[in-house]
Amino acid sequence: MQMSGDIAEVIVNISVDALDRAFEYRIPDSLTSRITEGTPVAIPFGKGDREITGYVVRIKDDSEWDRDRLKTILRVEEGDIPVEGQLLSLAAWIREHYGSTMNEAIRTVLPIRERVKSVEEHWLNFVISEEEAEVRAEEAEAKHHIAKARLIRGLLQDKVLSTRVARERYKATKSVIDSLVKAGVIEVVDERIERRPEEISETPENRREPVELTDEQQEAVRTFLSDYEAGETHTYLLYGVTGSGKTEVYMEMLRRVIDDGRQAIVLIPEISLTHQTVERFAAQFGDRVTVLHSRMSAGERYDQFMRAKNHEVDIVVGPRSALFVPFDRLGLIVMDEEHDGSYQSDKTPTYHAREVAIRRAAGAGASVVLGSATPSVESYREAIEGRYRMLRLRGRATGASLPRVHVVDLRKELEAKNHSIFSRLLAQKIEERLASGEQTMLFINRRGYAGFVSCRSCGYVIKCPHCDVSMTEHGRRSHPHLVCHYCGHTEPMPQTCPSCGSGFIASFGLGTEQVCEMVAARFPTARVLRMDADTTKNKGGHERVLAPFRKEQADILVGTQMIVKGHDLPKVTLVGAIAADLSMFQSDYTSYEKTFALLMQAGGRAGRADLPGEFVIQTYQPESYCIEAIRKNDPDAYYEQELSYRRLTGYPPFQSMLKILVSSENLKMAEELAERVATEIDRLALPEVTRIGPAPDRLSFIKDRHRIALFIKSKDPKHIDRIIKTIENDTSLEPLMRHCFISYGRSPQ
Ligand code: ADP
Ligand code: ZN
Ligand code: ZN
């Protein structure tokens, strides 16, 4: 008799390293009600049915194996579901939803598996006074005990020494140390050194009392708290304009949750993980908060994970990977700037942190607070339709007004014979700031392309014939030519526009460096700073640029999208978007969404304190709904337009979308595999599933690999799961898989 849900997939708890798959077991009737995903169980394993423990990661009713030959779960291990169980069942979901092996999924959720030894240091101290030590040093020197004398003098100089430093700097061998210990000169103390992130280590002087919340902030906190107190968990969207004080709202919520003995994860885009942000949390929560970021060593990260596991901290602040901190009493996940692209993993499994956060919170009985001034279209819809709770902040916390927006039509500039990258209006506004001693930020929206060449008359963009990406100008002084940054294709710089014949063809989005040069040429008195990947790549790089700007040692900050994120700079009263259109040229259904978010965030940097702000947008498409909504300061109008466009065209969030990318050095094999995949999908005969492709990917040849893409759209997300599973399990594809690689990109929904 076939019963529903009587088979469990179990991850065995031997050494996680060795596991690449889950093993199937039968759930005996007596345990049905007690077993869910994450439950620890005892099972017979291997030859001789040795009893071991494992975690149930999935319950199902079908098996590819003969069900009568499956072994049976012995019993449920007592106690709460441990955090590893929760994370492993999260891994099982990730594998299924985003497509990967179990091993890749486990690696994602248990990122730090092998113990990175915490540093055990032994410290040397004098047990005698320094005067006495001086005498001992002289005695040793008189007896030509050079090594002993050297160590005593070293210790006199450094006061304390670790054995490691004693060895490296003063060449002290173990026998030298031992003999000084015996002679009653020094002692050795053991101490476990906690590798603490520098941001957290010392901030007592920053300790700060909470601010008094505005009415809107209080209302948001109240809504959350009354649910929390009633034991309800939800996903909230804290939709608050730039400068509305979202961080203060998070902190109030966090305080309540940790006072309750529970734990919280605060996700922040990697790029916003600056000293300033971390300090705000440290100032509130002291050493109950810690931080993770990609510049930390494996050891530092391991220590912070262990501190979290041992309940030494209540809050972890970090990028998307902080989602997998082993908290066992998780109460809240905050996701700041929830629209940010860095929440999408670009490695297999290509998970989206928002979806995983909601999934993890559900397993842990926790809530999720998503915050943004420009929510993702998906989250906006969820909130509007009531599946998320909407918390809105319409005003700035400091009482400052939102910046005044000016939209400049660049085609009109050209008609007026202005060929500069500064429109007349922007130039005039910059002059005004220079005269009044206020600051300006100039933003060049490049979204990964290092610049492009376009026609100033008609807007035509020159693209690589092989890749369908825009080309970048090189060798301006010596021999101007165009290079494709993806495949290396080059061609001479054309003299006229291939589309309309106009002579005004030029490199646009010149890169921050050249913009700085142009600022210097146009505004010779201005002091200019540049902030981009090049000027910030070293540790503390962001602060090295921002600190002098904050101290008003510069008038103009030129930068990439890096400058639009989260910084609070009270003297900035003018923000200029030099080329607002750049990200609109991407042939991706999210390009308007990205442009909208970037421009709104950029404008949000202006006039955050007492001085009113202005925002100048230079564009070739002033009439687009995205620019219009910003000009009118009516973001809801943008979302409405975007949603109706997505509904009409069948894009997420209205349909699930999966990109299957087949890549190979061998084009024929990639094509063949892609065709086979298409056939397999068709054979499933799933209703209302649209397949587009196989066709060469937008980036059809990258790093010597041909790329063929298929896009699948479906109203039912389960069909997408089914397709992933079918391809993953299709053994007939294996011969081709030896020469090809398949990756999945599932759009967040
Ligand atoms: P957001 O993240 O929404 O852009 P922040 O939390 O960074 O906003 O707050 C913007 C500025 O307003 C910060 O300098 C913050 O200290 C200040 N602020 C926030 N809430 C209040 C408040 N209730 N009273 C006074 N200042 C506040
Ligand atoms: Zn043209
Ligand atoms: Zn190319």
Residue with the bigger pLDDT between 273 and 90: it is 90
- Mapped onto helix, strand or coil, the DSSP state of residue 67 is helix
What pLDDT does residue 114 have?
45
Helices (H), 52-202: 83-94, 102-109, 130-142, 146-158, 163-170, 174-182, 198-201
CB of 244 within 6 A of ligand 1: the answer is: yes
In this structure, what token pair is assigned to residue 523? 């505004």
Distance CA 188, CA 121 (A): 10
Radius of gyration, alpha carbons of the chain: 30
DSSP 524-591: TT--EEEESTTTS-STTHHHHHHHHHHTTS-SEEEESGGGGSS---TTEEEEEETTTTGGGGSSSTTH
CB of 613 within 6 A of ligand 1: the answer is: no
Distance CA 257, CA 327 (A): 13
**For residues 435-458, average pLDDT:** 77
Query: Is pLDDT above 80 for 673?
Result: yes
Distance CA 311, CA 319 (A): 20
How far is residue 666 CA from its own chain's centroid?
A: 33
Residue with the bigger pLDDT between 264 and 121: it is 264
Lowest mean pLDDT among 135-139, 209-213, 624-628: 209-213
CB of 398 within 6 A of ligand 1: the answer is: yes
Q: Which of 182-191, 437-446, 558-567 has the highest mean pLDDT?
A: 437-446
Average pLDDT, the chain: 85
306 falls in which pLDDT band (50, 70, 90)? confident
586 falls in which pLDDT band (50, 70, 90)? low
Query: Is pLDDT above 80 for 618?
Result: yes
Those residues whose C-beta lies under 8 Å from the C-beta of residue 500, and which sit 6 or more positions away, are: 455, 457, 458, 460
Distance CA 365, CA 354 (A): 16
**For residues 32-45, average pLDDT:** 85
CB of 89 within 6 A of ligand 1: the answer is: no
pTM: 0.78
115 falls in which pLDDT band (50, 70, 90)? very low
Distance CA 528, CA 519 (A): 8
Nearest atom of ligand 1 to the alpha carbon of 566: 4
Residues around the ion ligand 2 (C-beta < 5 A): 455, 457-458, 460, 497, 499-500, 502
Distance CA 576, CA 427 (A): 10
**For residues 31-39, average pLDDT:** 84
Query: Is pLDDT above 90 for 435?
Result: yes
Residue 692: closest CA among 712, 672, 678: 712
Lowest mean pLDDT among 124-128, 196-200, 645-649: 196-200
Tell me, in angstroms, the distance from the centre of ligand 3 to residue 465's CA: 7
CB of 507 within 6 A of ligand 1: the answer is: no
Query: Is pLDDT above 70 for 246?
Result: yes
The letter for the amino acid at 398 is T
What pLDDT does residue 646 have?
92
What pLDDT does residue 2 have?
35
Residue with the bigger pLDDT between 120 and 531: it is 531
Query: Is pLDDT above 50 for 671?
Result: yes
Is 13 in contact with 52 (CB distance < 8 Å)?
yes
What pLDDT does residue 637 have?
95
Query: Is pLDDT above 80 for 483?
Result: no
Distance CA 185, CA 163 (A): 15
Tell me, in angstroms, the distance from the centre of ligand 3 to residue 660's CA: 21
Distance CA 631, CA 406 (A): 7
